[in-house]
Structure 1
């Protein structure tokens, strides 16, 4: 079905308010909540040790959570909070004096710090992203359970210190891989893509900031052994500079996407295509790309290309009726695609997107020396043809008829794998896929305009 379109029978079976259920996310939140509650109860009964250190690191975690950022791909991270939590977990001595806090106290302090840092966000109306909070707490819990018991039988310094430092590094790498796997499992369920593809994307995205956070946490713990708690300020400053750079990068990406969206609407404002056509094609193309397990970088290019696939129509003296290029002669389709590609190529940074737009009208097996067009071009061709023929119609018979027409042309024009992926997306219950967020953080909705809000605000809604 089209986004937001469902038959009366389907609506009756689902009910009006059924929410999407992601098992991995639910289990993750339940485990983290149980661990936090159990640790708080146990620590309250046994009492806090070294409360001054617990307070200092708890405040650092809270401030870091308050200053969290949302990276491209709708990934929420809190580098300072995570580094402070890892530093507290690895803390062995403060100014030469041994510390003896238990794994339960580590989890309790971090849980309270995350909760306090979340309160200002809740106060301004941002719904917590529970799965991201749970992941941040879980990685600390894994390190604490694995590392803190070793402080009972290894001396803070001496021949065993090298072993302990190696253990710190190994644990940081382990939890980074575990965190990437959990994030990939949630992403695969949400986007309906393959876990292996999602895992590779998460590893690429989280590697730079994960290494910086882990190294900073270890440095904070080591420096505290000599400098005391003042090390928190000294070694948090470089991470703060890094976080500012990441935030600036995310803002630039958002501005870039807003420019592409504004450019894609020129054809609608000029009356060359129906209102909402580019957005609908982009949503369908993204969903089909996820169904075909495209990489995140390829999905982002697909989103840009799908938004601007009709920009070549601005060169037409007489607009095509309803902007339906699928009904235009092949020569006219090719001219529109080439002109649109030339416009996009003028940006100087979207050559791959321009190539997707240029080859969107070719048969799926190709018709020249260049061979078959890229997968993104084949997806745009199918999504555009479907929306040209269906538009905003909610008639199920019409949708099925268009799908059958596309299947009849799979011997030459349309990629059969893409057409079947489109059919799978359309036949999926709407609540299961219409809330999927694009790479930019925009939800796949029922036809409304994509939000132009800051990614951190778009990402405030979890799932």
Structure 2
């Protein structure tokens, strides 16, 4: 994908250098907008970076028809060239020398997320331009009045196809990088379109439509609301960071107090996330799963005497459920998402059927129960002097004996496939 994007932008730059730039003032305005958008990026859930203003500007240029009532003729390759130059200019601030006392930031080209975002932007914008520009320059779009609903419906269709293209490329990259199944990755990317993605698409369409009447003033006029939306997303990101700090503190509390072995919560969370990816959970579900896995032992703080090695999997079912519910009550008072407390409350319930009339046990709770038991059994095996390989085989065999009754069969089978990721 990176090679395809690089080849496309080189081809576009070469073509523009040979043919010259059409409508230089317009090209410079959109280049500056894309570069500015690249400088004010935001981080979305799942640690995904996005440049909403730059993405909207590039889409608007790809869908740009008349400008103040006059036709444009920049074409596909100039759209790609302007987008590529804007991306490169947006990377220039990242080339400044590192100043002492400030956090070190990798150069943009050394950041895989920035490279992937740039490749996706170039390919998806090139796709949008390839659909729209030939039809516009060929006169087929002239059948629609720019003020009529048919023209707006046509732009909406092209923008939706471009968004689908970008989501598909993002899902392919995530599936190859994280091992997440492609259908789950695609579903997660499509779901994210209803957030900032829909604002990007709508802004790009509005800019292209409004430019036909007001010209380049459409760029600042319709990109300002998107900038305000970015500020809201930044505040939401700060709330998520505070939540993460709360979770980290609670997760360490049991270790500091001596109720669980060092690193137990992290190992359980790593194994749970590996199982979640194997079972096709999306980004949001994986984030909630990780939160619940990190805090699954908080209820042990209510015990007078610590459980040896914190191995709650070796306790009676009733005692496990009591600890889980006490932990859930603590978590529910911390501002952590409600689903996390629910998952912790149910993680000790038998998977074979409803418990206490509360309905089926959530998949996340079943995953954490298997991950926790796996680490508890491994810790017990190490205490008996067994090797790592033998301990893993023994732990997996114990889990298989409870398969379908105590532990969810699908989760145990997934553990056998991934081999247990919580190490250390």
**The two structures share one fold, judged by TM-score above 0.5:** yes
Q: Distance in 2 between matches of 1:159 and 1:293?
A: 44
Q: 1:36 aligns to what SS in structure 2?
A: helix
Asked if 1:125 corresponds to 2:106, the answer is yes
Asked if 1:103 corresponds to 2:76, the answer is yes
Relative to structure 1, is the Cα distance of residues 365 and 371 closer, same or farther in structure 2, using a 3 angstrom cutoff? farther
1:239 aligned partner: 226
Q: Mean Cα displacement is larger for which, 243-252 or 283-292? A: 243-252
2:308 aligned partner: 321
Q: 2:196 aligns with which of 184, 206, 209?
A: 209
Asked if 1:254 corresponds to 2:241, the answer is yes
Relative to structure 1, is the Cα distance of residues 333 and 106 closer, same or farther in structure 2, using a 3 angstrom cutoff? same
Output aligned runs, 1:330-341, within 5 Å.
330-341=317-328
Please list every run of at least 4 consecutive aligned residues from structure 1 whose deviation after the TM superposition is greater than 6 angstroms.
155-158
Superimposed CA distance per residue, residues 389-408 of structure 1 (whole angstroms, 9 cap, x where no aligned partner): 22496722221221122112
Q: 2:252 aligns with which of 254, 265, 268?
A: 265
Q: Distance in 2 between matches of 1:319 and 1:228?
A: 71
1:150 aligned partner: 135
Output aligned runs, 1:353-432, within 5 Å.
353-366=340-353, 368-370=356-358, 372-391=360-379, 395-410=388-403, 412-426=405-419
Output the TM-score relative to the length of structure 2: 0.88
Q: 2:43 aligns to what SS in structure 1?
A: strand
- Could you say what the CA RMSD is over the residues aligned between the two structures, in angstroms? 2.4
Q: Distance in 2 between matches of 1:36 and 1:246?
A: 31
Q: 2:80 aligns to what SS in structure 1?
A: helix
Relative to structure 1, is the Cα distance of residues 198 and 159 closer, same or farther in structure 2, using a 3 angstrom cutoff? closer
Q: 2:405 aligns to what SS in structure 1?
A: coil
2:123 aligned partner: 138
Q: Distance in 2 between matches of 1:342 and 1:209?
A: 34
Q: Distance in 2 between matches of 1:115 and 1:296?
A: 29
For this pair of structures, how many residues does the alignment match?
A: 404
Superimposed CA distance per residue, residues 159-185 of structure 1 (whole angstroms, 9 cap, x where no aligned partner): 543444332111001111222222223
Q: Distance in 2 between matches of 1:304 and 1:174?
A: 35
Q: Larger relative contact order (C-alpha < 8 A, sep ≥ 6)?
A: 1
Contact 1:359 1:373 (C-alpha < 8 Å) held by counterparts: yes
Q: Distance in 2 between matches of 1:168 and 1:57?
A: 18
Relative to structure 1, is the Cα distance of residues 141 and 159 closer, same or farther in structure 2, using a 3 angstrom cutoff? closer
Contact 2:60 2:205 (C-alpha < 8 Å) held by counterparts: yes
Give ranges in structure 2 of 5+ residues lacking alignment.
97-104
Relative to structure 1, is the Cα distance of residues 96 and 351 closer, same or farther in structure 2, using a 3 angstrom cutoff? closer
Q: Distance in 1 between matches of 2:162 and 2:342?
A: 40
Superimposed CA distance per residue, residues 385-436 of structure 1 (whole angstroms, 9 cap, x where no aligned partner): 1111224967222212211221122253222221111121127xxxxxx7xx
Q: 1:88 aligns to what SS in structure 2?
A: helix
1:114 aligned partner: 87
Superimposed CA distance per residue, residues 274-330 of structure 1 (whole angstroms, 9 cap, x where no aligned partner): 111111111111110111112443323221211111001111111112211122333
Q: Distance in 2 between matches of 1:119 and 1:389?
A: 52
Q: Distance in 2 between matches of 1:60 and 1:305?
A: 41
1:45 aligned partner: 18
Q: Distance in 1 between matches of 2:342 and 2:136?
A: 58
Q: 1:76 aligns to what SS in structure 2?
A: strand
Relative to structure 1, is the Cα distance of residues 178 and 157 closer, same or farther in structure 2, using a 3 angstrom cutoff? closer
Q: Distance in 2 between matches of 1:349 and 1:159?
A: 51
Asked if 1:65 corresponds to 2:42, the answer is no
Q: 2:407 aligns to what SS in structure 1?
A: coil
Give ranges in structure 1 of 5+ residues lacking alignment.
1-27, 428-433, 435-444, 448-463
Relative to structure 1, is the Cα distance of residues 278 and 349 closer, same or farther in structure 2, using a 3 angstrom cutoff? closer
Q: Distance in 2 between matches of 1:122 and 1:272?
A: 47
Asked if 1:181 corresponds to 2:168, the answer is yes
Output the TM-score relative to the length of structure 1: 0.81
Superimposed CA distance per residue, residues 211-267 of structure 1 (whole angstroms, 9 cap, x where no aligned partner): 221221222223323323232222211111111112221221222122112111111
Shift of 1:53: 1.3
Shift of 1:112: 0.9
2:100 aligned partner: none
Contact 2:352 2:404 (C-alpha < 8 Å) held by counterparts: no
Q: 2:419 aligns to what SS in structure 1?
A: helix
Q: Distance in 2 between matches of 1:160 and 1:345?
A: 56
Q: 2:49 aligns to what SS in structure 1?
A: strand
Structure showing the higher helix proportion among its residues: 2
Contact 1:98 1:156 (C-alpha < 8 Å) held by counterparts: no
Q: Distance in 2 between matches of 1:222 and 1:369?
A: 55
